[in-house]
Every structure is written in structure tokens, then in C-alpha cells.
Amino acid sequence: MPKLTQSFVKSLPPAAAGEQTLYMDDELTGFGLRVSATKKVFYLQVRVGKKVPKRKLGEYGPMTVDQARKKALLLKAQLLDGKDPYAERERGPIDATLGELFLEYRNEVSHRPNTKKSINAAIKHFGGHEGQAFKSTPDGRSHETVEIVKVVLPNWLKRPYREITQDEVLARFDVGSRMLAKRRRGGQPAPITRTINQHFKYLQAAYNYAISKHRLADVGFSNPVAILKTARRWSRMNRRSGFLDTTKPYFVKWWYACEALKPVVADYILFTLITASRSIESATLRWSTDVDFKKNEVTFRDTKNGQSYTFPLAPLARTILERRYAARINDFVFGYAKSKTGHVACPPQYHIKLVREACDHSWSMHDLRRTFTTTLTRLNVHAFTIAHLMKHSTNSSMTFSYAPPTREQLLEALTTFEDHLLEQVRPSASNDEAVVSATAAA
């Protein structure tokens, strides 16, 4: 091969369509030219240990042969010295901030709406947080009184994320785990342990995404949040178990308090209860795709496990939907004019607070799902039927996947649940009268 010169490169004819011709310089080892049908590109290919990286230098025309040769000499020296500027560029700027890291993870990875809300909450936390905290971790086995002090967590969002150390992560996690919720239920101060756990889980996920995307492990960078597992700092979270006991007097108060809310919110809460829906599943139901009055069924699409479920409508559920259809304002079943999303808030915290005060019982939207399962279990409904109505994955049970409940079984279970509820809140009325009474009040 001849030495690559300006006149030689200029004289080279283009390659045939779909083909490439390679020309190597006989003076600088690894320096070459790739000629295609449309362009001529300089490159450098040199062995570094067991690897033979190939790096593009530039295109002939904008770059002369002499410029390409000088760039090849410099790059070859860097590669042989163990430095690869191309790989560094792929890893992103070394001074990228934690805020940029979070935004990259939030915007480039596919997340559900509620997950994005949680990520935004984590971003807000790491942007600086001020509040009260226990001075030390309370010992639940003793009756010690722990002093409450004011704490200020610094803003990390403007810091280069590669500079945050494991010790800093440990210190912030320990303080955050002792911080107190601003809203206290029952008047007793309690640490926001579950919330802090979630914030740091998303911080860990953002780091893992950047490490994989930018191949940071190649330069020895590791996730600083991983120290929480090594140091056994992650708080053990017990499953939440709250539910509404339909046999207790407060449940009747709860029901009437819901009926006293704005009609669309009342219908949303009661429909979520009687269909065992997650709050986001009910809130995002659409008339155009999810409700079929002719077939008497409703479809919940793309649920938490990625599957869609179609269920028959029991009498109360259908009555609620018919009333909402008559009052519809947009394509959402529970459309809300003042909402940016077009549907009711999810969850409707203001209205939940009103109901809590009215019935003197703390509850959340997810408690309604546990109310559904607890009540149907008491009513001797088969566990597989309950699991299907809860829209739980069948992957954990081979028997479940072979014996899914029938439409008749689903409708019977839903109707049984509605009848039980109406017997509690309208004990003197027949079931048909109770349905009319319950829905008319809302």
C-alpha cells in the first residue's frame, strides 16, 4: 500500500454501490482510508493489549490528509497510553450533575405516570430538604423519650454525581430515615422511613442506568448507593395492611361521607371499591375504549402487571357508570373539569381528608383493595377468583393459569360483594332499592 497523500486520496475513484474499499498507509501503522460510493473517511485501527479499537478520524474534504495524519498520531499515542477520548465522550461530561442524572433516567426510561411522580418526589428531596427529625433512632422496645431537632439536608442536584461518596450517602440516609412527616396521623410523630427508602431506591436506579449507558464500570466507577445494602441500612418495610372493616359502625359513616362529596368524586371512590381497582386504573378509564354497555363489561388496560382485564358489571357498578355517562364532560369516565389531566385527581387527597374527618377513621385509596379481598374472603369467595379480580399476575401459580375463573364466577363474586356492602349501609331496603338509594345519594 502506498503512503496516503493529498494527491493519492483525491485520485481514488468511489467504490461500487453497497461496497467499501480500504487503503492503509505504509508509513503510519493503523492509519487508513475507507472509500464508499459517496464519501472517503479516515480512520485509525491499532492493537491495544487484546483489543483492536477502530476510531473514525474524519471525512476527507472537510479534513485534509495532513490533518488526519496528525490526529491519528495523537490518538494512537493516547490509546497506547491507556486513554481513549472516544470512550470518555460516550461516558458523558465528568462534571454532569445529580440533577442531570435524574432527568436522564426519568426522561429516557419508560415509566408509568405514578412512577414518574415518585421520581419527581425523589428529585425534590435531593434538591434540599428541611424539617424535624429524631435526634437518634427510637428504640421501639423501650419507653425512652427521643429529642426532636431541626435538620437541613443540603442540595445535591447541582453537584457532579460522580463526586458523591458512599459516606455521604450513608449520612444522608441515616438522617432522612429519622425525619418526621409534616402531616401526622393520630398526633404521634413518626419517621418517614418508607418515603426515604423509596427516594434512595430511585437514586440507586438512576446511578445504575448511567453506569450501564455510559459504561462507567470500565473506568472503575461504582454505584455509591450500593453501600446501603453492604452496610445493611435499608429499612425493612412491612406490607401495609390497612382496610375498611365493613362490619364496623364507622364503615356506614365512611359510605355516607363519600356520598356527600362531589358526585364525580363519590362515584370514583365507590366504583374503585366495588371493582377492586387501583386508583389510577379507575381514574383513567375511557368511554371510547373501556366501557361497553351492550356487553355489560368494563376493561382495565395495561395494568400494573402489563396485562389487560375485562370484567362483567355488577348492578351497582353499572348504575354508577350509567350516571357518569349521562353527566360526561370528556372521554374520561370520571372526567373532572378543573383537572389538568382531564380526570379526577389520583388519589383525591383533599376529599380523602374530608371523609377521614367525617368517619373518624384513617384510610387510603389502596386500602379499598384490601377491603375488597378481606370482605370476599369472609364471604367464602374462591381465592383464585379474588386474585383475578385484583388483577394479580398468574405467573406465580401454574394451577391459576390453567383454571381461570369464568365470567359467571366473576359476576357472582362482584354481585355478592355489592350486596354485602348495601346490606351494611341500607339494611332495611331490598337489594334493588339499596342500589337505587345508594347511587341517587351520590
Show Cβ contacts of residue 386 under 8 Å, excluding neighbours closer than 6 positions. 372, 373, 376, 377, 413
| Number of Cβ within a 10 Å radius of residue 315 | 19
Give the CA radius of gyration of the chain. 31
pLDDT attached to residue 142:
46
Q: What share of the chain is helix, strand, coil (3-state, %, to 5)?
A: 45, 15, 40
Give the CATH class of 6-91.
alpha beta
pTM of the model: 0.65
> For residues 21 and 14, what is the distance between their CA atoms, to the nearest angstrom?
9
- Quick check: do 6-91 and 249-425 share a fold? no
Query: What is the chain's pLDDT, residue by residue, as a tens digit (442 residues)?
Result: 678 888 898 888 988 888 888 888 888 888 988 999 889 999 888 887 777 878 888 889 889 989 999 988 888 888 787 776 665 555 556 678 999 999 999 999 988 888 899 999 999 999 988 888 887 765 554 445 668 888 889 999 999 999 999 999 999 999 888 888 876 555 567 778 888 999 999 999 999 999 988 888 877 889 999 999 999 988 776 667 789 999 999 999 999 999 999 999 999 999 999 999 999 999 999 999 999 999 999 999 988 878 899 999 999 999 999 999 999 999 999 999 888 899 998 889 999 999 999 999 989 999 999 999 999 999 999 988 999 999 887 665 656 666 788 999 999 999 999 999 999 988 765 455 555 555 555 5
> For residues 179 and 196, what is the distance between their CA atoms, to the nearest angstrom?
9
Q: Give every strand in the sheet of 31-35, ordered side by side.
A: 21-24, 31-35, 40-45, 54-59
| Residue 108 amino acid letter | E
Query: Which of 349, 344, 339 lies closest to 263, judged by CA?
Result: 344
**The C-alpha cell that represents 216 in the structure block:** 462507567
Domain residue ranges of the chain, discontinuous segments joined by +: 6-91, 98-231, 249-425
Taking CA atoms, 380 is separated from 215, 242, 367, 416, in Å, by 54, 20, 20, 10
pLDDT attached to residue 92:
59
* CATH fold for domain 249-425: hpI Integrase; Chain A (1.10.443)
pLDDT attached to residue 88:
53
pLDDT attached to residue 430:
47
pLDDT attached to residue 403:
72
41 phi/psi in degrees, rounded to 5: -125, 130
